[in-house]
Copies of this chain bind each other. A is one copy, B any other.
Amino acid sequence: MNFQKFSLKLVNRSYKPLGTTIKIGDTSIGEGVFSIIAGPCAVESPEQIDLIASHVKKLNLRFLRGGAFKPRTSPYAFHGLEEQGLIWLRESANKYGLITVSEAVDLESLSLVSEYSDIIQIGSRNMYNSTLLKAAGSLRKPVLLKRGMSATINEWLMAAESIMVNGNESIFLCERGIRTFETTTRNTFDISAIPVIKKLSHLPIIADPSHSFGSGYGVSSISMGAMAAGADGLLIEIHPNPEAALSDGKQSLSLEEFTILVNRLHALKEPLNLRF
């Protein structure tokens, strides 16, 4: 497979020199806006997601994430509440006027997620899933495309190209850490991907400090760093009770920790010339 033969076209910066801005309701993602997307790894109950949604609203944030289909390596792990999770996510989002992000893992879940959620996430494990990318390309909803855990930046952009060539140009990328030899963190957050993507492509790029760091204690540091380095937003896992979370509790911030982080991020807005 000779990638060199196949040059990137639609995702190139030259295709949209001013950058892509994705309009969603009364807000947007990209160029000059810093979008903080927060929520639990998995929707667990109507109470859990309502509590988180109200907290997100209280902080004047606009995006609520929540997984209903969890791609897990182990067949014995919790794989999400599926349609029920999507319904609860939607209800809480409607109640507080939030925009939702939820992940699709195959054609069946893509159909459901696109029915209930405002933004469709394609996760690391599916970045090479041509069938899913193609199907996402025919949707009229924005797609959050995570980098594969060992995907080169070129391959990642190729995956975005696969969506765009099928008609959907509302794509934003998410750096979530790559696999390296270092073991003190779950993955190595590749902050350099931010300036590289900004140079090569017009697509917005956000950062996922939770999955990359893998422990709550580093999430704030990576979030601040990504914002200052030029990211267009963050995808952060929060949970009212991280230790009791059904998945990824170790890396989730509590609501209190998240409030502190949002305040720290606010302080960077002016010097970085960004708005939330």
The answer to whether A199 touches B228 (Cβ under 8 A) is no
State the majority secondary structure of interface residues on A. Answer: helix
Q: Check if A18 is an interface residue, CB within 8 A of chain B.
A: no
Closest to A2 in B: B250
Within 8 A of B (CB), among A216-250: 217-218, 220-222, 224-230, 247-248, 250
As for how many copies of this chain the complex holds, the number is: 4
| A133, B129: Cα distance in complex, Å | 13
CB distance from A200 to the nearest CB of B (A): 8
Given the known inter-chain contacts A73-B1, A150-B150, A271-B267, please indicate yes or no for A188 contacting B180, CB distance below 8 A.
yes
Selecting from A20-28, A57-65, A151-159, A252-260, the interface stretch reads A151-159
Residues of B contacting A132 in the complex (Cβ-Cβ under 8 angstroms):
106
Q: Check if A54 is an interface residue, CB within 8 A of chain B.
A: no
Q: Check if A191 is an interface residue, CB within 8 A of chain B.
A: yes
Within 8 A of B (CB), among A78-125: 79, 105-108, 125
Residues of B contacting A108 in the complex (Cβ-Cβ under 8 angstroms):
131
| A225, B267: Cα distance in complex, Å | 15
Question: Which of A152, A213, A218 has the most C-beta atoms of chain B within 10 angstroms of its own C-beta?
Answer: A218
Complex partner residue of A190 from B6, B188, B193, B196, CB under 8 angstroms: B188
Q: Check if A44 is an interface residue, CB within 8 A of chain B.
A: no
Known contacts A72-B130, A152-B183; can you find 13 more A-B pairs with CB under 8 A?
A5-B74, A71-B130, A73-B159, A74-B162, A106-B132, A152-B181, A154-B184, A178-B181, A194-B221, A195-B221, A224-B229, A227-B228, A268-B268
A residues neighboring B (CB under 8 Å): 1-3, 5-6, 71-77, 79, 105-108, 125-126, 128-134, 149-150, 152-155, 158-159, 161-162, 165-166, 178-185, 188-196, 198-199, 212-213, 217-218, 220-222, 224-230, 247-248, 250, 267-268, 270-272
